[in-house]
């Protein structure tokens, strides 16, 4: 895919992606909802506090008026209300509020009068009614109307032209007779309150809008920061899906977080997957190459037989023998290939098997000695405690030993001696298979564990080797968390060294129990 196409594909992906839009909407909605709730709480708290202050102001005015008016025993009327108010108030009422400002000396005592300051407050309108709802005193235009009310005092909030006002109704009760003589109505315009609430509302709106814009931008940037790498990952996935051999990988994200971890795992997964594909291809080509020779030999012999050999018992015999030998080699090769593939699935098949090292060593060396009586197969277990166990399936341990001893025998020269030794080193069991044969050069030592690798192809073929034994051995050993290595001097001999983690008695017991459970479970499964 060209770079241009790639960019287009990524662009298309981003266009289709609703993740950013969805996240930004969610964040914006969350902010709107939380700011609305927050604003309502703040607004109503401030409103309640201010209203109660305003109520206090109104109540003060009512109390001041009432303290003068409750001295009147009879029903309230202009004649007794005005004198009841202070002389200073009377002066002011006579000459108007402006004169108070113009003649400060005359009215200095009037300002000390609480009542006066109440009735001259431009925010507060006061009216006094008699029992027949007739106005007997007021301090200005637009005095509040009297409405029926039950309690002694009643506060009522009203909205006039979009502004809140507070009207207080109070009964005037004569202190001497205890009878209702009239009513006081106080209208508080609450200018300060209305201004405060108006400003608060404006500020809240401004802050909310600013917050929504700022947080939405932040949300967009944060989400884009997350979505961009995801888009990159999916673009790479798509590309590899289209072309499994593609070398495209996710670039280093430089972010040290889970996404970088994901990208790294994704890249190594792709590497591994492609390595498997290559290995698989190599395996198929190796196998077909290996099978070609025996098939060609068999074919050659059959052709020879067809042409000349049918009547010639000597050729017939030779060809049949050679064909049987090649067929046998093929069978052997197929068996080894099967072993190699199985060696890769050990963890699944035999997870809890254990083996007593000394028992198996004794058995295998004994068997090999019997099969090869011309060889001396020595076993040295001086440094190995008798009950030492390792985590391995017995059959595999035997197979490993057979591969190594068999190689020692196959590639021996004059000295027909194989030494097998085992010992315990700290937490590992070390098993060494030593021969005194032809040895392996330093260069070949690195390759002998590769599949189908043989130092001398023709000679090895003569000895029946396919170049698979050590690959199987290495796969088996590493599957059981062990290590295998070689030390060799050309012309002198080789040492193959295997190391396995030793397991404690407790661990061995635990594994054996698990194994029994598994065997039991498998048996039940097959019975069902
Ligand atoms: P093969 O079935 O051919 O023996 P292996 O994988 O076991 O396959 O060995 C790979 C090659 O390593 C052999 O072909 C041989 O050349 C060399 N090799 C293995 N073991 C020994 C040994 N003990 N001494 C010398 N060469 C060895």
Closest C-alpha to 326, from 302, 295, 292, 303: 295
Cα–ligand 1 centroid distance for 319 (angstroms): 29
Cα–ligand 1 centroid distance for 466 (angstroms): 9
Q: Are strands 493-503 and 389-390 parallel, antiparallel or unpaired?
A: antiparallel
Contacts made by residues 253-260, CB under 8 angstroms, sequence distance 24+: 253/229, 255/229, 259/226, 259/229, 259/230, 260/229
- Residue 86 pLDDT more than 70? no
DSSP string across 24-92: HHHHHHHHHHHHHHHHHHHHHHHHHHHHHHHHHHHHHHHHHHHHHHTT--S---HHHHHHHS-HHHHHH
Those residues with Cβ within 8 angstroms of residue 490's Cβ, 6 or more apart along the chain or in another chain: 438, 439, 440, 441
| Selected residue with higher pLDDT from 311 and 76 | 76
Q: pLDDT-based confidence at 74, cuts 50/70/90?
A: confident
Residue 434 structure tokens: 């030593």
Q: Could you tell me the pTM of the whole model?
A: 0.56
User: Ligand 1 pocket test: which of 434, 454, 474 has the largest number of ligand atoms within 8 Å of its C-beta?
Assistant: 454
- Say which DSSP state 145 is in: P
- Residue 75 pLDDT more than 90? no
Can you give the pLDDT at residue 21? 84
Cα–ligand 1 centroid distance for 488 (angstroms): 12
Can you give the pLDDT at residue 436? 96
Structural element, H or E, at residue 103: none
User: Ligand 1 pocket test: which of 339, 434, 467 has the largest number of ligand atoms within 8 Å of its C-beta?
Assistant: 467
Which of 50-64, 131-145, 169-183 shows the lowest mean pLDDT across its residues?
Answer: 131-145
Can you give the pLDDT at residue 426? 84
Cα–ligand 1 centroid distance for 465 (angstroms): 8
Judge if the beta carbon of residue 406 lies within 6 A of ligand 1.
no
Q: pLDDT-based confidence at 431, cuts 50/70/90?
A: very high
- Residue 132 pLDDT more than 50? yes
1.10.287.130, 1.25.40.10, 3.40.190.10, 3.30.70.100: which CATH number matches 258-343?
Answer: 1.10.287.130
pLDDT tens digits along 170-202: 999 988 888 889 999 999 989 989 999 999 999
Judge if the beta carbon of residue 467 lies within 6 A of ligand 1.
yes
Judge if the beta carbon of residue 466 lies within 6 A of ligand 1.
yes
> In the predicted model, what is the mean pLDDT of residues 104-124?
60
Closest C-alpha to 14, from 294, 292, 157, 226: 226
Can you give the pLDDT at residue 69? 87
Which of 21-25, 324-328, 472-476, 517-521 shows the lowest mean pLDDT across its residues?
Answer: 517-521
Q: How many CB atoms lie within 10 A of CB 494?
A: 23
- Residue 385 pLDDT more than 90? yes
User: Domain 346-527, what fold?
Assistant: Heat Shock Protein 90 (3.30.565)
Q: pLDDT-based confidence at 448, cuts 50/70/90?
A: very high
Judge if the beta carbon of residue 340 lies within 6 A of ligand 1.
no
Q: Which atom of ligand 1 is nearest to the CA of 336?
A: 2
Can you give the pLDDT at residue 111? 39
Judge if the beta carbon of residue 480 lies within 6 A of ligand 1.
no
> In the predicted model, what is the mean pLDDT of residues 331-342?
84
Cα–ligand 1 centroid distance for 496 (angstroms): 11
Judge if the beta carbon of residue 460 lies within 6 A of ligand 1.
yes
Measured over the CA atoms of residue 145, residue 147, residue 152 and residue 158, the dihedral's sign is negative
- Residue 87 pLDDT more than 60? no
Which of 20-24, 107-111, 128-132, 403-407 shows the lowest mean pLDDT across its residues?
Answer: 107-111
Judge if the beta carbon of residue 455 lies within 6 A of ligand 1.
yes
| Selected residue with higher pLDDT from 362 and 229 | 362
Judge if the beta carbon of residue 469 lies within 6 A of ligand 1.
yes
User: Ligand 1 pocket test: which of 336, 406, 407 has the largest number of ligand atoms within 8 Å of its C-beta?
Assistant: 407
Residue 255 structure tokens: 């972010």
User: Ligand 1 pocket test: which of 413, 448, 476 has the largest number of ligand atoms within 8 Å of its C-beta?
Assistant: 448
pLDDT tens digits along 264-298: 999 999 998 888 888 788 888 888 887 888 888 88
* CA dist., res. 460 & res. 44, Å (int): 95
Structural element, H or E, at residue 330: helix 313-343
pLDDT tens digits along 6-50: 555 555 555 555 778 888 888 888 888 998 898 899 999 999 999
Can you give the pLDDT at residue 109? 44
- Residue 95 pLDDT more than 70? no
* CA dist., res. 376 & res. 369, Å (int): 7
Helix (H, G, I), strand (E, B) or coil at 358: helix
Mean pLDDT score of the chain, rounded to an integer?
Answer: 84
Measured by CA distance, the residue closest to atom 25 of ligand 1 is: 439
Cα–ligand 1 centroid distance for 367 (angstroms): 21
Measured by CA distance, the residue closest to atom 2 of ligand 1 is: 465
| Selected residue with higher pLDDT from 120 and 492 | 492
């Amino acid at each position: 895919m060209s770079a241009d196409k790639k960019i287009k594909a990524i662009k298309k992906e981003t266009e289709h992606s609703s993740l950013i839009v969805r996240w930004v909407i969610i964040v914006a909605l969350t902010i709107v909802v939380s700011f609305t709730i927050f604003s309502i709480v703040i607004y109503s708290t401030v409103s309640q506090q201010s209203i109660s202050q305003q109520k206090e102001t109104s109540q003060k005015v009512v109390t001041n008026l009432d303290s003068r008016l409750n001295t009147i025993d009879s029903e309230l009327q202009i004649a007794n209300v005005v004198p009841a108010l202070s002389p200073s108030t009377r002066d002011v009422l006579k000459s108007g509020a402006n004169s108070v400002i113009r003649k400060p000396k005359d009215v200095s005592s009037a300002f000390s009068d609480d009542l006066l300051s109440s009735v001259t407050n431009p925010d507060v309108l006061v009216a006094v009614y008699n029992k027949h709802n007739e106005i007997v005193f007021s301090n200005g235009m637009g005095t509040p109307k009297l409405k029926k009310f039950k309690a002694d005092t009643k506060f009522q909030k009203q909205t006039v032209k979009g502004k809140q006002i507070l009207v207080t109704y109070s009964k005037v009760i004569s202190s001497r007779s205890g009878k209702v003589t009239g009513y006081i109505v106080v209208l508080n315009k609450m200018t300060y309150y209305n201004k405060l609430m108006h400003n608060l509302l404006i500020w809240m709106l401004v802050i909310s809008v600013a917050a929504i814009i700022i947080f939405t931008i932040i949300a967009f940037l944060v989400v884009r920061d997350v979505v961009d790498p995801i888009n990159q990952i999916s673009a790479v996935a798509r590309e590899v899906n289209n072309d499994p051999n593609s070398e495209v990988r996710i670039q280093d994200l430089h972010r040290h977080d889970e996404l970088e971890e994901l990208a790294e795992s994704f890249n190594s997964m792709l590497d591994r997957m492609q390595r498997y594909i290559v290995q698989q291809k190599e395996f198929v080509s190796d196998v077909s190459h290996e099978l070609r020779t025996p098939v060609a030999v068999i074919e050659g012999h059959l052709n020879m037989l067809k042409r000349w050999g049918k009547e010639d018992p000597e050729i017939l015999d030779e060809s049949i023998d050679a064909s049987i030998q090649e067929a046998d080699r093929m069978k052997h090769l197929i068996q080894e290939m099967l072993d190699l593939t199985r060696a890769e699935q050990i963890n699944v098949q035999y997870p809890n098997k254990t083996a007593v090292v000394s028992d198996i060593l004794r058995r295998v060396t004994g068997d090999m000695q019997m099969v090869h009586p011309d060889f001396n197969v020595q076993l040295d277990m001086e440094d190995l405690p008798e009950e030492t166990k390792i985590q391995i399936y017995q059959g595999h341990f035997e197979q490993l030993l057979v591969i190594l001893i068999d190689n020692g025998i196959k590639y021996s020269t004059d000295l027909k001696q194989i030494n097998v030794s085992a010992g315990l080193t700290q937490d590992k069991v070390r098993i060494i298979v030593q021969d005194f044969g032809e040895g392996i050069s330093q260069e070949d030592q690195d390759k002998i564990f590769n599949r189908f690798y043989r130092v001398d192809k023709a000679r090895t073929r003569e000895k029946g080797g396919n170049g698979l034994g050590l690959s199987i051995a290495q796969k088996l050993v590493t599957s059981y968390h062990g290590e295998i290595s070689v030390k060799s001097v050309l012309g002198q001999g080789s040492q193959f060294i295997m190391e396995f983690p030793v397991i404690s008695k407790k661990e061995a017991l635990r594994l054996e129990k698990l194994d029994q459970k598994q065997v039991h479970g498998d048996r039940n499964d097959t019975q069902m």
